[in-house]
Chain A
Amino acid sequence: MSYKSATYLSLLIIASFGGLFLYTSLTFSRGVGGGPVGPSFFPIIASSLLIGMCVLSAFSTMKKHKEKKEEINILNFRYIIFTVITLSLFIFLWESFGYFYLFAFVFLFGLFFVYNKNEILKKRLIFAIGLSIIMNLFVYFVFEQMLNVII
């Protein structure tokens, strides 16, 4: 995707976000207990300015990138997708069933194994298992034992 198109898309999303905030802000009370400024004051100003700046930025982008065609490069996009999916799955399973160390081991194993494209299969497996165990032990000793974080 070109830089310009991606910028326009981002500005549209951000402006929509601003629009949603502005619409929601209009439902807040204006001032409570005689106060001159209520909970809606700042959100209305910030979201209005945001929408205005998005329009300004769109014009600025149009002017600046008239001649050059820049592309947005997202390298190894499938690894990013894989990471987001496995991370979300890990958090979902941990939240739903507990068993943190089991799911953390599987999650880490998946990442270490998939990211390491370079070694032979046996080495990749050993690395992934070993590092996953080490990371789990690190979390156990540092977070659970030392810092008393309830996992």
Chain B
Amino acid sequence: MDFLNFDFSLLATWEVFFAIVLGTLYGLLIGALPGLGSTVGIALLLPVTYSMSPLAAIIMLASVYQAGEYGGSISSIVLGVPGTPSATATVLDGSPMAKQGKPGKALGYSITGAAIGGSIGAVILLTLSIPLSTLAISFADPEFFLLGILGLVCVAGLSSKDLPKSIISVLLGLMLGMVGLDVATGAARFTYGSFALMDGISMVALLIGMFAVAEVFNMLGEDSKTRYVTNVKNVKTKISWKEFKGVRKTYLKSSLIGAFVGILPGLGAGPASWFAYTEAKRASKNPENFGKGEPDGIAAPEAANNAAVGGALVPLTTLGIPGSPATAVILGAFLIHGITPGPNIFENQPDLVYGIFWGFLFTAFAMYFIGKYTTSLFSRMLIMPAYMLSPIVLFIAIMGVYASRINLFDVWIAIAVGVAAYFLKKLDYSLPSIILAFILGPIIEESLRRSLLLSGGSVDIFFTRNYSLMIMGIIGLLIILMVLQALKMNGNKKGSTD
């Protein structure tokens, strides 16, 4: 309980206060601009931290990370374009709710979830960082492979409209993820002589193409005078107490899922949000409402992806292992200030590490209050008619793709993917499945190859480890539950037609 002995006067300084406020505002903007994301935001702000104290510097970067994860949902909800990869799940229900004329409510569910998830992530960081770091290092390649498979099963099962097409979408995503240089051998795969493809297909280009470019084409199909919000009252970012009570269990469960997944290096907020979304849909009394503006469909991914931020700081601080690209940049900040994170930091610099943890908790509250009053400005964009909104969305999205790697080839990819995605969506293929498979594919392949290398080619490695068996059990159970749910829905459909 050392964290309770912390001297709070270390946090009660103007430097820390401005670090939290500026980091939060900057993170919100960076997250809301499609294609940029927390990693870019943290990297751009890193030089600014040179002159700051270590505590204020790390807290500011953690604020950017936290606010950036929520900021991604602003673009997801208002524009239907995920601002960050982890906000993709939020598009599924956030965008439909916004288009029903309730963007403020959607943002309200989102920011409340983000604050709760961030707070629970911070509490876990404060209280359980050491035992959880022990758990994190117990997970090795076999477990990561199976967690990746679990992620694919989750997302393939989400699209219950056409299961074969959902599986095809997963396989397409896996194949797109294989383009580029093979990590283990350096062999060029599916590059067909193109230097631009040696680095693989840009995830930002894929994301923006699928959701922004394709979404603009959808908007063109509507009356150009369409305004998604006609009542200005509906842009206020808030939910009522009754609405909060309706989703509070989802907030809690999803936060715990997000924090746990965030602890595991390499997974991060993206898969965390999808695991939480899948679980929320599975446990819901009205799973058929998901994808149509269901509040739990916003609450779950938002709570999870912000809790994952706290989770990601666990291996970073306790083991010195960055769990995500964003935490890798934060590790750089630690090193710049002469601090080596790892097991000894709790003995050598307890004030610093607990100051960071407490400061992280305060950033969740700051994000709630700052976000509540600033995000309604974003949702006012939906008052614009479609003929104004479509070019704005398209232009900002294209700039976001370009800005991510300063590479125009990525923009061409986004255009091609956008055209393809527009038609794929019309034919009931699952775009979220493609994205998540694209993200998880490299993790799955690398961890499988390393596992088999360690075991000399034997698959026994997956059956002799307790955590692997546990994850396989979860996968099996999930498949059974999905099949039962599908049979139940088919039975209900037949019953209603009789």
| Partner-B contacts on A (CB < 8 A) | 3, 6-7, 10-11, 14, 17-18, 21, 24-25, 28-29, 32, 35-39, 41-43, 46-47, 49-50, 53-54, 56-57, 60, 72-76, 79-80, 83-84, 87-88, 91, 94-95, 104, 107-108, 111-112, 115-118, 127, 131, 135, 138-139, 142-143, 147-151
Contacts and interface: CB of A to CB of B under 8 A. Distances in A.
Contacts of B396: 138
A74 to B, nearest CB: 7
A148 B33 CA distance: 15
Interface stretch (B56-64, B84-92, B163-171, B200-208): B163-171
B224 A135 contact: no
B427 A54 contact: no
A28 B412 contact: no
7 contacts: A39-B184, A74-B426, A84-B415, A115-B390, A118-B387, A142-B33, A149-B399
Given A75-B221, A83-B220, A112-B388, A39 B187 contact: yes
A72 B408 contact: no
Contacts of A91: 398, 408, 411-412, 415
Given A35-B449, A87-B394, A95-B408, 8 more contacts: A7-B427, A28-B187, A43-B175, A53-B167, A74-B426, A112-B391, A117-B224, A118-B225
A24 B33 CA distance: 37
Contacts of A54: 168
A50 B403 contact: no
Contacts of B189: 24-25, 28, 39, 43
B187 A115 contact: no
Interface stretch (B236-244, B298-306, B450-458, B472-480): B450-458
Contact of B395 (A21, A36, A37, A104): A104
Given A39-B182, A116-B387, A147-B36, A50 B175 contact: yes
B1 interface: no
Contacts of A115: 220, 224, 386-388, 390-391
B78 interface: no
A75 B223 CA distance: 10
Contacts of A21: 175, 190
Interface string B374-418: 000000000000111011101110110011001010011001000
A117 B187 CA distance: 52
Contacts of A38: 185
A95 B408 CA distance: 7
A95 to B, nearest CB: 5
Contacts of A107: 395
Contacts of B182: 39
Contact-residue size bin, chain B (C-beta under 8 Å from the other chain): 35 or more
Nearest to A134: B392
A57 B395 contact: no
Interface string B47-67: 000000000000000000000
Given A7-B427, A28-B187, A88 B415 contact: yes
A72 B222 CA distance: 15
Which of A29, A43, A56, A94 has the most chain B CB atoms inside 10 A of its CB? A43
Contact of A111 (B185, B222, B390, B406): B390
A131 B387 CA distance: 11
Which of B224, B387, B429 has the most chain A CB atoms inside 10 A of its CB? B387
A36 B184 CA distance: 12
A26 B398 CA distance: 36
Contacts of A6: 423, 426-427
Contact of B164 (A25, A42, A56): A56
Nearest to A118: B225
A42 B178 contact: yes
